[in-house]
Chain A
Amino acid sequence: MNVLKAVSMPAPKRLRDLIREIRSSRTAADERAVVNKECASIRESFRDQDNTYRCRNVAKLLYIHMLGYPAHFGQLECMKLIASPRFTDKRIGYLGAMLLLDERQDVHLLITNSLKNDLGHQTQYIQSLALCTLGAICSAEMSRDLAGEVERMIKSSNAYIKKKAILCAFGIIRKVPDLMEMYIPATRSLLNEKNHGVLLTAVCLITEMSEKSPDTLHHFRKLVPQLVRILKNLIMAGYSPEHDVSGVSDPFLQVKILRLLRILGRGDAEASETMNDILAQVATNTDTSKNVGHAILYEIVLTIMGIQSEAGLRVLAVNILGRFLLNNDKNIRYVALNTLLRVVSADYNAVQRHRTTIVDCLKDPDISIRRRAVELSFALINPNNVRGMMKELLYFLETCDPEFKSDCCSNIVIAAAKYSPNKRWHIDTVLKVLTTAGNYIKGDVVTVAIQLVSETSQLHAYSVQQLYRLLSNDISQQPLAQVAAWCIGEYGELLHSATVEEEEPLQVSNDEVISLLERILANNNSSVVTKEYAITALMKLSSRFSDCSARLRQVIAQYGSSTNVELQQRSVEYSNLFVKFDNMRSALLEHMPLIEAHPHSLEENFLDGQEEVNLLADSTSSQSNGHGGNLINQPSENGDILNILSANTSPAAAPANNKSGGGAADLLDLLGDLTTDAPPVINNSVLPPAQNLLDGFLQPTPPQSNLVNGSSSLSPMAVFNKNNLLVEFTCQRANNDPTRTVIDMKATNSSVFPMLDFVFQAAVPKSFQLSLQSPSGTTIPPVNGGHITQVIQLNNPQKQPIRMRLKISYSQNGNMVNEMAEVNTFPSELWQ
């Protein structure tokens, strides 16, 4: 009740009382109630156009704003305060403007006008308020509108105004670099001033200009002697209480000058020469008992390393950092690590001397320090210290925060590849990464690891046995499981062979190996990719462990009903390999060819083979998911292959993924394309000979059926007619748009047996986009007793002649039939 009374009373609550009241509220709800009540009364007062208390109300609003409540309704009131003649009003008004103003256009225009007026005011403190606000808001339009006023004020003889105007110019140039020109003449003479405020701000402005434009940089190079003189005066001058900070003469100015010298001396021998002496003096004479001395030394080290300084000076600089590194103050240690990283390329050996200290910082409890130390540690690895450094870094990897792990793994693997003393060590290191950082590892490490093992043929037995041991200890780490599964599949027979002398041979039976992979497959925590590696490994083992073939077959067949499409497909295809192509099985599952560092020929071969896959990958990826069942290719998998191959990054991944990727069907594709120079297919399919062979019977290409001449886009055209399977397309433009085509596919079966598990796929060149809708079914009844339809939508933004490849599979009488065809007889009306 008291509060209510106070609100209704004429004189509004004082700022101090409001703050007190807010601070005494016990709960957040209480506080909100007080604030809401006060805001309501402030709004009312604003509405009443009350002038007397506007200042007080805005001040209260600013306090409320700091607590996080909305206060933007006070923006216009700030403008009114600014326009008031009273200094108190202006002071609060400008403060409010700086705190409350957003980028709203209308208010901006208002404030720009007020600023223009106040910049020309005769009271310096009002000019100062305007300059301060300009420096804080400094939008692009405001900068353009007020640039002239600011330039005029830089020339003022009043140092108080001058320094503020200079910093406004600094802000303006930062926002609108085009305006730099107009300030250059006025800037030239600024370094002649004695006032530290003016000098300090002038150095800021010159620094900004020099960083923004090389021409200006060149122009200001002639200021170097003057800057050197100012710096010299600073350090030679006796005690001046006004500017000293714990015995150091104006550190703010010193640091700014040192920074500007760095920019002016960079890449310029003459300028660098001019500053050598003073840099040496500052570096040796600065008192380092306090933080402020370190701040100056820190800056000077950066300058010495940034310009073309003398060798002796550089040694001095690195030694300063060495001392920093041993300092008790954490801040100074942090700065040392940070700076060493910046200078490591300039003076590698000098930094190398501090290696032990740096490595110790890896164990620091402070994350800021660790972050700097780990980066620096990687920069310091070389062939001589790689063993020791790696040990430290692997230990770090074990204990570090999760956020470091992934990058740290990748960096260790890269460094190991670069500096490894021998293969055995290299493999051990990579395996250690796999076991240590587990699931934080990025995919690239898996491919690198597989590549490494595969190319190190003399250590195949060692690697696979190690991986088996590691995997049997822990199957939860996906990257490890993937690498291990790949290697066990590939080199399974070597699990029993003798390995490097000092290692104990592995005592393991084939059944145990299979059980381990089985466990990975059955583990709910295994990722799908890991399971894919595992099932392919099991398949490969069927040719390595000939005595276990029956068990493997059974294990693989279990996943024929997996809910995961990829796994199911692999299982089904591999099972088929056992049944129908058993004679070819061992040949198909042979060892991957040894991957060399630059397997150009191999890669090209694969690239040739990929064309087909490429097309199919496009088609499958755009298919709707409702397709279900037996997709021939899994989009992501193929995408990977292509990416890897085209990016030429990791050749190892290609064969690895290939084998695991598409399974039998893919292999057939590859064989098909590799063995034939597939002549351009005209209308009906021409089967690649390899596939015919696999099908077990050679069938002459049937006579081409009626070529549709594109007369009517609506009459069906036969695109495939073989083995009693007829596929017809009925094409039309969608909405009469030449870039969009809708094709109705209809498949009929004139044989006396039904066609089961019918899957129709289509692929188009890259310039098209294709989407296949769900088919009407997967079984085509015999003797034309029914059909399957499927709608294909085609996007042809470039209006190119449509070409399409088809892939058809079905089973009939228990035989899988795979067919391919190319269609390039689409009527041109569709896209013209």
Chain B
Amino acid sequence: MQFMLLFSRQGKLRLQKWFSAYPDRVKKKTTRELITLVLQRKPKMCSFLEWKDLKIVYKRYASLYFCCAIENDDNELLTLEVIHRYVELLDKYFGSVCELDIIFNFEKAYFMLDEFLLGGEVQESSKKNVLKAIAAQDLLQEEETPQGFFEDHGLG
């Protein structure tokens, strides 16, 4: 996988993960272009788009679009499963996730993605293991923040 974007139906970027080095300018342009392209497509259409030499696989969950760019010989259908797995993970973690959860806890959404994918490949096929790792790290974070102090010293 080359990159993954999350954006809203209004075209607002909610998360971006780049697995290869792109200049900032290219990232911005790509994001803009893909958001427009994907939002233009009708609901009945297939989830794949051929874009430059990449294949865009996207899926809409409520108000959010999950959009992955894969290489031509990657499995498009499995990429849909990757997206779905990520949504399931977020859902388990936040407890029926919605767009607002991802907006206000964007860093947690990133942490989750980093436990699921690494360098653009799936690193863990067990949901349980991913959630366990995240829980353990959240605990670490909580432990080092003095009690009652969190509100002021954590991310808040």
The A-contacting residues of B in range 83-126, CB under 8 angstroms, are 85, 103-104, 106-107, 110-111, 114, 118-119, 121-126
Look across to chain A and name the residue whose beta carbon is closest to the beta carbon of B128. Answer: A242
User: Is B107 a contact of A62 with CB atoms below 8 Å?
Assistant: yes
Partner pick for B78 among A62, A95, A295, CB 8 A cutoff: A295
Contact with A along B117-156 (1 / 0, CB 8 A): 0110111111111000100110011001100000111111
A59-B155, A251-B81, A298-B77 given as contacts; is B118 within 8 A of A164 (CB)? Answer: yes
User: Is B123 a contact of A333 with CB atoms below 8 Å?
Assistant: no
Binds B, one of A366-374, A682-690, A745-753: A366-374
User: Is B153 a contact of A16 with CB atoms below 8 Å?
Assistant: no
User: Is A131 a contact of B125 with CB atoms below 8 Å?
Assistant: no
User: Is A66 a contact of B21 with CB atoms below 8 Å?
Assistant: no
A62-B106, A95-B107, A95-B110 given as contacts; is B78 within 8 A of A163 (CB)? Answer: no
Q: Nearest-CB distance from B17 to chain A (Å)?
A: 8
Q: How many A-B residue pairs have CB under 8 A?
A: 174
* CA distance in complex: A15, B103 (Å): 11
Look across to chain B and name the residue whose beta carbon is closest to the beta carbon of A59. Answer: B155
Partner pick for B125 among A86, A92, A253, A295, CB 8 A cutoff: A253
User: Is B155 a contact of A56 with CB atoms below 8 Å?
Assistant: yes
User: Is A366 a contact of B78 with CB atoms below 8 Å?
Assistant: no
User: Is B141 a contact of A87 with CB atoms below 8 Å?
Assistant: yes
Binds B, one of A197-205, A791-799, A824-832: A197-205
* CA distance in complex: A59, B107 (Å): 8
- Give the dominant DSSP class at A's interface: helix
User: Is A252 a contact of B81 with CB atoms below 8 Å?
Assistant: yes
User: Is B77 a contact of A88 with CB atoms below 8 Å?
Assistant: no
Which residues on B sit within 8 Å (CB–CB) of A95? 107, 110-111, 114
- Is the C-beta of A168 less than 8 angstroms from some C-beta in chain B? yes
Partner pick for B21 among A103, A294, A333, CB 8 A cutoff: A103
Look across to chain B and name the residue whose beta carbon is closest to the beta carbon of A240. Answer: B126
Which residues on B sit within 8 Å (CB–CB) of A811? none
- Is the C-beta of B14 less than 8 angstroms from some C-beta in chain A? yes
Partner pick for A291 among B13, B77, B136, CB 8 A cutoff: B77
Which residues on A sit within 8 Å (CB–CB) of B21? 103, 137, 139
User: Is B124 a contact of A197 with CB atoms below 8 Å?
Assistant: yes
Contact with B along A12-30 (1 / 0, CB 8 A): 0011110100010000000
Which residues on A sit within 8 Å (CB–CB) of B75? 255, 259, 295, 298-299
User: Is B44 a contact of A255 with CB atoms below 8 Å?
Assistant: no
* CA distance in complex: A15, B156 (Å): 6
User: Is B80 a contact of A291 with CB atoms below 8 Å?
Assistant: yes
User: Is B122 a contact of A252 with CB atoms below 8 Å?
Assistant: yes
Look across to chain B and name the residue whose beta carbon is closest to the beta carbon of A242. Answer: B126
User: Is A295 a contact of B77 with CB atoms below 8 Å?
Assistant: yes
Q: Nearest-CB distance from A801 to chain B (Å)?
A: 50
User: Is A331 a contact of B80 with CB atoms below 8 Å?
Assistant: yes
* CA distance in complex: A230, B28 (Å): 42
A16-B104, A68-B28, A88-B144 given as contacts; is B76 within 8 A of A291 (CB)? Answer: no
Q: Nearest-CB distance from B54 to chain A (Å)?
A: 13
Which residues on B sit within 8 Å (CB–CB) of A652? none
User: Is A295 a contact of B80 with CB atoms below 8 Å?
Assistant: yes
Which residues on B sit within 8 Å (CB–CB) of A299? 75, 78
Which residues on B sit within 8 Å (CB–CB) of A259? 75
Partner pick for B118 among A63, A135, A251, A255, CB 8 A cutoff: A135
Which residues on B sit within 8 Å (CB–CB) of A365? 42, 44-45
User: Is A368 a contact of B45 with CB atoms below 8 Å?
Assistant: yes
- Is the C-beta of A615 less than 8 angstroms from some C-beta in chain B? no
Look across to chain A and name the residue whose beta carbon is closest to the beta carbon of B14. Answer: A66
Which of A15, A19, A204, A252 has the largest count of B CB atoms less than 10 A from its CB? A252
Q: Nearest-CB distance from A169 to chain B (Å)?
A: 10
Q: Nearest-CB distance from A331 to chain B (Å)?
A: 5
A19-B103, A62-B107 given as contacts; is B24 within 8 A of A102 (CB)? Answer: yes
- Is the C-beta of A760 less than 8 angstroms from some C-beta in chain B? no
Partner pick for B121 among A138, A170, A330, CB 8 A cutoff: A170
The A-contacting residues of B in range 4-47, CB under 8 angstroms, are 13-19, 21, 23-24, 28, 42, 44-47
A66-B16, A163-B124 given as contacts; is B107 within 8 A of A92 (CB)? Answer: yes
* CA distance in complex: A255, B103 (Å): 33
* CA distance in complex: A160, B134 (Å): 12
User: Is A331 a contact of B48 with CB atoms below 8 Å?
Assistant: yes
Which residues on B sit within 8 Å (CB–CB) of A369? 46
User: Is B153 a contact of A52 with CB atoms below 8 Å?
Assistant: yes
Which residues on B sit within 8 Å (CB–CB) of A295? 75, 77-78, 80-81
Look across to chain A and name the residue whose beta carbon is closest to the beta carbon of B125. Answer: A252
* CA distance in complex: A132, B76 (Å): 24
Which residues on B sit within 8 Å (CB–CB) of A291? 77, 80-81
A16-B104, A52-B153, A88-B154 given as contacts; is B80 within 8 A of A167 (CB)? Answer: no
Some 9 contacts from A to B, beta carbons below 8 A apart, are A88-B145, A125-B140, A136-B119, A137-B21, A170-B119, A204-B121, A243-B126, A245-B85, A332-B77
- What residues make up the interface of B, taking CB atoms closer than 8 Å to A? 13-19, 21, 23-24, 28, 42, 44-50, 75-78, 80-82, 85, 103-104, 106-107, 110-111, 114, 118-119, 121-129, 133, 136-137, 140-141, 144-145, 151-156
